[in-house]
Amino acid sequence: MTDLQSLDRLVGTWQISGGAEGTVTYEWMEGGYFLIQRVQLMQHGQEAVVLCFLEILANLHSLTAMIC
């Protein structure tokens, strides 16, 4: 198994709870070289804009962008 393939266990949608609630979703970008992470969280019943982002994960680097 390559380092990149080991990230496959993250693929799917996960529920977040605790101080903030919401979901985190991981999916492979076309070609299978990058993993996309989408996060949407609510805190105190309101969307926490600062915690809403898209992250693209690769073997050595990642890129994070605010999308909300």
Q: Is 39 exposed, middle or buried (CB count within 10 Å of its CB: 0-12, 13-18, 19+)?
A: buried
What torsion do the CA atoms of 29, 30, 33, 37 make, to the nearest 10 degrees? 0
Residue 50: predicted pLDDT: 46
pTM of the full structure: 0.68
By percentage, how much of the chain surpasses pLDDT 70? Answer: 68
Residues counted in the chain: 68
Q: How far from each other are the two terminal CA atoms of the chain, in whole angstroms?
A: 35
The phi, psi pair for 60, rounded to 5°, reads -115, -20
pLDDT tens per residue across span 9-40: 999 999 989 878 888 999 898 888 788 888 88
